[in-house]
Amino acid sequence: MSSLCIALVAGCDREFGGDPVAPTLAADPTHSNPLVPGTRVRMLVPAGAEPPAGFYGFAWSAAGASIMIIEMPTPYRDTVGGLTREGLAGGNMTFVDSEPIDVSGFEGILIDVQQRFNDVDYAKWLLVSGDGSHTLLITASYPDSNAAEFREPLRAALMSATWDPTLAIDQYAGLDWTIEPPEGLHLIESPGAFLMYTESGEVSPADRGAPLYVVAPSMGRTEITNIRATAEQEVLGLAQVTGIEIEQSRVFTLAELDRVAPNQFRGWEIVAHARDLDTGIELVVHQVMIMSASGYVRMVGLVGVPGRAVWVERFRVTARSWRRRAL
């Protein structure tokens, strides 16, 4: 389940242009280790950062660089166990190096990876930490072409992070969209710029055929020119599943949004067949990507084949409920 969340955000890099402005860690004590809105993380704020679009963290849009913070309701050991060379390759990332770290007394690891997205080569730092019930994932990403300006400052920012998993957080704070949960599923309590729903409202990895629904935004203002190709590429890159075969790939229309803002939103729906990587259980994958000028939201539902007739339609109803909202 944590692998799915990582896969949902792994390819969400930002388009970039203009002259990059290198970040430096702020020396002003008033900016030292503030609580990052929407998270339980405190981090030394890199100077020159902009408010991010669609995720929690920081962004440098001109240079295509960002820091994204995600907290997942999965044990650290389960998550880090999947971040091997093979596991990262499943998320279209190439392992370079790693080192053990400590985050507020919690065990952790800092992983150096490479990834190609939209014909651009990116470097990423993955900070992963947690305990027996939570995982913290902080991803710092920058184009290889800007490594001289960003590599060490972003690494220093991640290494300044502290984390308190006991803090209470509003999961919907900062999201500029809303959806109605799939009938019969409940939101898992875990802060981060994505929503995860299961039948129990808790992580239940024992039953890989049980319905799971994850909604995740793009990292920033990502320009996509071929919606079909992008949607198909993303579904074929899902982690924790294998043998993905696309059955349906078609335009997805949100009538109310089109009435309010004609030609501003585009959607694409995919239904695919797959197998769970560990158990071989046959699964149905339902994915909808809704795109606008400011980026996209990706909604992915998975369920065992016996539940196809009921759950694919429920996933589709949830996707149709997606709405913009004012913050």
Q: What is the pLDDT of residue 28?
A: 39
Query: How many domains does the chain contain in total?
Result: 2
Highest mean pLDDT: which of 5-14, 44-53, 144-153, 255-264?
Answer: 144-153
Whether residue 54 sits in one domain with residue 143? yes
In order of 32, 181, 232, the CA distances from 53 in angstroms are 23, 22, 23
Alpha carbon dihedral 4, 88, 92, 241, in 10-degree steps, equals -40
Torsion over CA: 195, 198, 199, 204 (sign): negative
Quick check: is 265 in a domain?
A: yes
| Percent of the chain predicted with pLDDT > 90 | 40
182 and 159 in one domain?
no
Place of tokens 């093979």: 86
CA 148 to chain CA centroid, Å, is 26
Q: How high is the pLDDT of residue 24?
A: 57
- Both 124 and 81 in one domain: the answer is yes
Domain check: are 139 and 253 in the same one? no
What confidence category does residue 187 fall into, taking pLDDT thresholds of 50, 70 and 90?
Answer: confident
170 belongs to a structural domain: no
Residue with the larger pLDDT of the pair 55 and 111: 111
Most confident of 27-31, 193-197, 283-287, 295-299: 283-287
> Do 159 and 183 lie in a common domain?
no
Judge if 159 and 200 occupy the same domain: no
Residue 80: give the domain boundaries: 2-163
pLDDT in tens, 38-51: 788 999 877 788 87
- Residue 11's pLDDT band, with cuts at 50, 70 and 90, is very low
Q: In the listed set 110, 131, 163, which residue is the last one of a domain according to the structure? A: 163
Average pLDDT, the chain: 81
221: domain CATH number is 3.40.1000.10
Same domain (yes/no): 44, 184? no
Measured at the CA of 187, the angle between CA 239 and CA 137, to 5 degrees, comes to: 45
Domain-located, residue 65: yes
- Co-location of 153 and 233 in the same domain: no
CA angle 163, 110, 51 (to 5 degrees): 55
Whether residue 168 lies inside any domain: the answer is no
| pLDDT bucket at 257, cuts 50 / 70 / 90 | low
Does one domain contain both 135 and 196?
no
Looking at the structure, do residues 184 and 317 belong to the same domain, yes or no?
yes
Q: Is residue 158 located within the same domain as residue 193?
A: no
* Model pLDDT for residues 89-131, shown as the tens digit of each residue: 877 788 999 999 999 999 999 999 998 877 888 999 999 999 9
Q: Does any domain span residue 157?
A: yes
Co-location of 212 and 72 in the same domain: no
